[in-house]
Amino acid sequence: MRKKLIAGNWKMNLGPADSAKLAQDILNAASGNDKADIVIAPTYTSLDRVSGIIHGSNVKLSAQDMHWEEQGAFTGKISWDMLKELNVEYAILGHSEQRTFFHETNQTVNMKTKKALEKSLIPIVCVGETLEERESGKTNAVCEDHVRGAFQGISKEDAVKCIIAYEPVWAIGTGKNATPEQAQDVHAFIRNLLKEMYDEGAASTIRILYGGSMKPDNAAGLLSKPDIDGGLIGGASLKADSFLGIINAAP
């Protein structure tokens, strides 16, 4: 039985003071909550403050990205050991906003995923189609391309440590979530693909999260589907109430 995981991606929102307050509010409300694994991903400049607040609790820390090199001349980038020093345990990789605005490709997602695994960070690998791709019937093909690209050369032993997030680009920040049935179809497709790439055991172990306008009022429907193992939440993770509402919607 896969435990649900609810992750908040704060994107480029909240400075250190506001992040600390939100982290404290989430901790106050979610401390000891066993309904789901809980992860929050503040901006880099807030990681240190937030880390100090949630350290040792059931609320875990994620970065929003990570570079594949260990150090060096990569202006603006952050490496795994800088994250580990702050007790970061997860890294969101291949987010569609990285793919759209910052030249993220399957190849760079693959390099980041391998490095994260090598250094014991848990990758949250994001995949998903644009509206145009969905309307032209390419949803499964795009997701397959993203999954195969990200997991290229990764062993089954490592693959089972990863988390996948299916985030249809047309649902992100639009208020238009995929219906539970639409999301379940794609999640089942991805799980079947993992079975083909690895085996039944790996496919039934890897958690697949849904992301895209998930809110307290639509979360229960999505989270009740058999292949939806949690959520990667943007807008609704910026308020403790709505983030907790989603956690509590987990069956």
Angle at which helix 16-30 crosses helix 44-54, to 10 degrees, equals 30
Closer to ligand 13P by Cβ: residue 81 or 241: 241
Least Å from the CB of residue 225 to ligand 13P: 17
Q: Which of 46, 213, 218, 242 binds ligand 13P (CB under 6 A)?
A: 213
DSSP letter at 236?
G
Say whether 69 is catalytic. no
Least Å from the CB of residue 20 to ligand 13P: 21
Q: How far apart are CA 154 and CA 110, in angstroms?
A: 9
Q: Which of 59, 172, 203, 249 binds ligand 13P (CB under 6 A)?
A: 172
Chain centroid to Cα 192, Å, comes to 20
Q: Which of 129, 167, 227, 229 binds ligand 13P (CB under 6 A)?
A: 167
H-assigned helices in the chain: 16-30, 44-54, 80-84, 96-101, 106-118, 131-135, 139-150, 156-159, 180-197, 200-205, 216-223, 240-249
SS3 208: strand
SS3 128: coil
Q: Which of 109, 212, 219, 227 binds ligand 13P (CB under 6 A)?
A: 212
Least Å from the CB of residue 39 to ligand 13P: 11
235 lies in the site for ligand 13P, by CB under 6 A: yes
Interface segment toward ligand 13P; rule CB under 6 A; list 25-33, 54-62, 212-220, 242-250: 212-220
Residue of 67, 97, 167, 187 marked active site: 167
Q: Which token pair is 186?
A: 């794609």
Contacts with ligand 13P by CB under 6 A lie at 9, 95, 167, 172-173, 211-214, 232-236
Q: Which residues are catalytic?
A: 95, 167
